[in-house]
Structure 1
């Protein structure tokens, strides 16, 4: 028996020793030298006796664990210059991310040894001095992000030799001089904003939006249109004896025939245009009549629109059905129309479907919802109930929903990105609105039940304003559409019953949506369904937290700490167990605290204070991730 125990002990010892021995020894020592010689305010689990490939935070090895190929240390509290002859010994490294730290000093000259580097992320640090003069040594580079530092000098023309480069961000530095001609066909995203660049934007880069060059002293020179060739002056012909040759006569005949053909073609086009105009007018009439067509042909005369106190609208059901209507969307609860009334402006009418309650319950719920008056809750102005038709009337918000602002026209020219300040206001307003609903509904335990970006708008103060409050109580429990399902808490998917805790979960998804710019549920090219909560959890768990943030937010300086704080709140709200989620009044305090950081006079990039204790992203979010990690199954 003792011999068996001894054998097991030896086997265990040998297996542990073999795991450590299998580590890439030289790469491991290079990382230890780096970490021991750079100032840091937070510890890492990098121990000499543990496996670098299996246990070290932020380190990835190749498939046979013979080399380190990636190092990700965003927000790890690193300070001061990078020690020489440390990271440069990782000759097989392909991905290096040291973003969101307080690393200073010049760009490490010995990084030229990292010839296999594919992605380099050094943004949001305190680097200074010129950029490397020769980028040609990194022939495999596809992503370079050196934004939000203090680099100066000119942009090296050698960047144009990087034939695989797809992403280049040098914004928010102190670069000067003219922009070199970076004629790189593979380049998909370029940002040179907020430097001290002069001259003109090269023709090869004019395909990028002008916002990518803002904050400089640059001009965009439009290429001149080609001039018509100037005919050399010919000898002045004699006015006497002008005689047309046969080719000239033939030319006149041909030109005459062409003119006749053109006149006939124009006439036919005018006729067709009139026909199409009639058709379009017919379609517009159909569109305008769509609200009435969907309604009962003979509405119940005994039933009337019921208006709530404080509503200054004056119209009846016939006015509403006659109004010019435009379909805004079809959602979980029914079809929404924009109705332009003759004398009462524009309102939003929602035609409810699958209403499961009777008239009395419907009217009671309407009275509860209609009594809510809060700047962050869209007021219910009126309702109509009959056996065949159930309508609710709201104010019209001309800026559209948050969903449209966040996702509309992404990747298209002319899109106006949703800035961080607006996203904060959306989050704060929506939180206040939901908290008010939860706390002011007395013993009714009123819930929203359908909180999503398409049901949130901007009020006059540009804060979030939630719509569709309480309608879930009127409906048959039914499967949510794919997009709406991404907002639903796990327990609602099973029970079909919304609660205040499930509203908190939906709000957490909304925060993640605002931070990432991604929809709650997406399908990939291979038709794979990607759940936002699962994806964020996986990224945070791998300690690549900075990867989650919307690329459109990278242009705004000094917001990384606020985004991390908001991410923490979102992760706490999407905890799988309802009892682990905070109450909405507490959520309001948390998001308002984030804004409080933002409301003061934020220092400019040049006057940014010393970061003595950068946000340790992985550590700060660890607790929230622990609560939410089991929520990866919706």
Structure 2
């Protein structure tokens, strides 16, 4: 009967090739899938009805045109025994294979991956595979995620993994690999694990960035981050000349520990006293110098709306012995025709109060609407302020809110930018549903994440600017989620060592407690927190466990560590999502976890993060991969695979 059944399938494929050439590939893939499942024992719940279309079968995903199978996900369905040869190898359009948590065994067929050149994610963990890693795996040039953990693979780890230049995650733990770890140096690699094998020798320099847990359980392995390797030659024995004869005079005694401490304390007290005297003198001198300065005016409220007054509209600033009237300075891309007097007469309402200052929505008499940010605690001089603002005024990108003008006086520092009426990401994620805002679905969230990442990548790569204050209230939305834009960028140099990045609760990278200086890597950390915020729906500084409030990053890490990954996702997403959505959410979670690595050097560059999110977004929206790579420098090399975890 089985032979007759397969004969019928082959006959249908032949008819298809004559009548419907466009669907032949899918017919051939249908035959290959049926051949696979009929030769591998499995649980009864995995039932592929021949009366249903191939694309409707459990675990099978097709492209938008229903002409090719692009993903096969059969985790934990009781598959038993070896993979039959010449079955899955015929699914030449596959991007994802997940056969994890089954009882598949034996060596992997040598030609299984020879034709799967589009494969990006391969999950075979928690099975009973044996033998060596097939050479065909090392030829999968688009592979981004490879998980062979918790099997019975043996032999050495091949150096050929370096051929997989797009690899972001390699998991080989829990096998029987022996010998030394090859020097695997792949720039995109953010997750790596070879723990619990039989490896020996020193850890290559290229892999020292990964944590101790990536190498534990290999008793003969050494080198950073494990204990240092023993020297090849034993240290020489001391020469007789170095030995002190028993009756020789004792060497002069060194200072005792107590004496050293006492000297240090006295020195410290003296230094502190000098600093206090200097500080007292500076404060007194500054009071004497500023004694005649009048009080600074602040916004006053008139008929329910704030009217901005700087108190400097008619002030004069002495420059080189001459007088110059303070004025708004517009950038070259001037779109507005108003001056400082017009701005000060505008009706205004407070949009928000942040670390850097207060933002107002200002409506001018002619109807023009702009955002005016009133900076506070600026320590930069007038010249430093102007130089930094000239740099920021040249930033031009669809995902960056452009600066239009600035103002500087002794008492007031203002920034003028476009007004985006759709509000901020924070308002949509954490605002009241009574305000009329609907919950953001998964498609909108991944598109906002991608837009924000592209804006940040432009700042880092093209403008050489550190954002320094990434948070959901600084992600402003437009009707098109792909046009979401970052605001409040590049202001940290104006505030010295106490800039916004150092005070942003929940978003602050751990190293800023010591360095007090925002960097590209601290921006990546904050962006990772933003991704966690999109995935969980929780504010970074409002996450509670019982009666304790902890930051969002710690909470997510604790949940994932206990393997309760699904618990971290926003219930709004879980309710409306399907299996594919959950897998994409897990993939973005893995990217976010790489961004919030405690070690700054171990975090990926924002360009790599954007490429990984682009791949998830392209699958989520069903677009052709190359069409979505707007920020990629080379479109001819095909799509970059995502940094996905196990689906």
Q: TM (normalized to structure 2)?
A: 0.48
TM-score, normalised via structure 1 length: 0.49
